[in-house]
Structure 1
Amino acid sequence: MNQALSFEQLRSLTPLNALSEPQWRLLRDQLVPQPLLAGQWLFRMGDQAPQTCFLLAGTLLLRDEAGREERLVAGSPASCHPLSPALPRRQEARALTDASVLVIDGATLDNLLTWRLAFQDLLLELDEGDGEDGWLEAMLNNPLFGKVPVDNVRAMFERLQVLELPAGSVILSEGETGDCCYFLKRGRVEVMRGTGSGQQVLAELEAGACFGEEALLADAPRNATVTLLEDGCVLRLDRGDFFALLKAPVVAEVGLGEAARLLASGAQWLDVRLQEEYERGHALEALNMPLHLLRLKSRLLDPARAYLCYCDSGKRSASATFLLVQNGFRAYALCGGVDALPAVQRDALLCDSGPGYLARSDGRVERSR
């Protein structure tokens, strides 16, 4: 089997099922199952390769450092989750039968997942219902937005100037001063460098593309000319707004020791991972409010209480912390996420499992049934 997994197959794997179809297409080269022969190792104890692995077919033997063994069969509920996700690996995995596995770069997956969960409600909010919403997701997938808080992006849309232009319009000219950047909402543009017989076509960009930002970031003249190839629509963002809005937030982070002190003073753990991730292991009495639902569910939180946000890598919890602080809460992110903790501390933190706890409208926390 050397073809990429279908979207239907991807929908059965957590957390891949939280990504959108355009994001799956970005991962397409990595979504090809890999064969594993009986007796072959998938990974060893202590392995630190940043890869997320899923069992698609066959049977694996998982063994931890205490010698405890677990047979994992493809198609079982456990096989729908990443294999031994914490790094360094606290288990070793060997194929008992010929098997098939999916191996994805963990950092890439985490970036896409954090982006999707952070921007999901914004995509729904800004969808204009005109059949052109694909440009928006393509635009927000630009690395420029990788660490930008959602509220900043929302504010940015209020400051964009919409320009409807005919084919042949020169939007940027090589050598001019960079005082803004553009996002292409509709149409195609050609990027060229040089003049006369020395002109060279560098690229052709489609809806969702950003251009002109290099001159702003480098504080240098435009290095290319950009021309519309067909009637189109571009969104202009001024230099001042670019630097004011497209910057990473600064959030308060705490280590496990400081977190323990805050918990003793009445703080509350807030797990911002997906429900399926939460149920496999979470902090004692931790509330589960996935990042993409946090804006809606934060009204259930107690404004007088401090909240300690955590996820696997620390990226989702940083976005969650920024959102809570913007909404008047006292919040902190666990520095580096749970994956940065030593194995003993990680196990001690994620000591509970199952449905967990719910927040009520009066600020109470109670166990779900």
Structure 2
Amino acid sequence: MAVDIHSAEGRVIRQLIPLSTLPFNKFEALCAQIKIEDAEEGQFLFKCGDERNDLLYLLNGNVTLQTDLLKIETIKSDSPSARFALAHQIPRKVHAVASSRIRFLRLNADMMKSAQDVPYEETESFMVVDEVEDNDDWMTTLLKSPVFRALPPANLQKILMGMQEVRVNAGTVIVNQGEQGDFYYIIKRGQCLVSRKPAPNAKEIKLAQLSDQETFGEDALISGEPRNVSVSALTDVSLLRLGKEQFLTLIKQPTLKYINYQDAQDLVAKGADLIDVREPDEYKPKHLPYSINLPFFSLRMQLKTLNRQHPIVVVCQNGKISETAAFILMRHKFNALILSGGIESISPDQLKAPSSFPIDDGIETSNFREPGGETETSHSFSEQPSMQDDMERLRRFLQQLKTKYNILDAEKKALEMKYLALAKFTESLKAELEAIKKAGGGG
């Protein structure tokens, strides 16, 4: 029977995983085809070894998962586990038996896959999880992130079981700069402050303020390096946290995408952006043609300067920082890929020294034909000496100059903000010094 999407049952179905991630029109079309069934207590929904490719979701009542000798688990319709398909591995590893009168949804897995097959590019309207009315549901919070939407349902179920909710009071330091990473955090409700000390005895600098549904802690988990910032609670905060090993296994490994050097060449030739996230002193001596230097420390501040319509190939020295950068980009709806092994995996003759022109534009101006008519052909991403290729190189050159301009403009604004903060700090120091002098003079 068709499901009324506006009914109470329709709203329950809307929260099932991964139906909650579908665009509204696809969900509506699916509801016109899906089948809701009833079963009596003691009836088998499927048996161990069953290979029928259906997804079964419990809507009302209780279902027991068991083997011939052992009762494993009882799923209740009002529990978080009921948002996932019952023991969905094919062939089935257990029996599913109704332990009360139940209603359940039967959905063909191929039909579900077809509904999920949508282009990668997203608009804000695609994130239809906002339609779910239960805004206090932390799983809905997770599904608003593109990273979690891309995970297999089995991973989401394990995350559901492994995620802990913790509450901290305003003023509490949640993450300390310099410590090893242990958890990945999602802010369910509240405000947090991100800060950093540039040196052990320096004054702490405020970097950002985080709020509902934003995350932190992934950098240290992915890179294996100590925390590079501190995070403290500005208000009373409700957090969801996942342990390091679970994060790496359930989120990092299935999320990050790697490509080799040849595939990177092909993508850049088709218009992908090549972003090198190393520090400028590492980037300038040797780097890939057509790459733009966008140091990792400034990546978050400059996301608005990047084009979501273009795939982004991320490169660093050995691939480690690229992993963290790609995760950040994917969380903000960019199609990011990592050059496997980084610069270290590429032979020296495939890299470029700085351009002969005094323009730190992040691309190779020397790739254009020189006055003598000769072209440089000793590197990859090479060009053919034709008018069409010259025009294409010029187009890419102008495009990347524009990107570099946007990046530099963002850096300028960030530096201006730092200058104002330092000016205020200097004024406060002067005031303290004057007070000390007066107090000394009065003694």
TM class by shorter chain equals 0.3 to 0.5
Higher fraction of strand? 1
Higher fraction of helix? 2
Which protein has greater RCO, CA pairs closer than 8 Å, 6+ apart? 1
TM-score by length of 1: 0.37
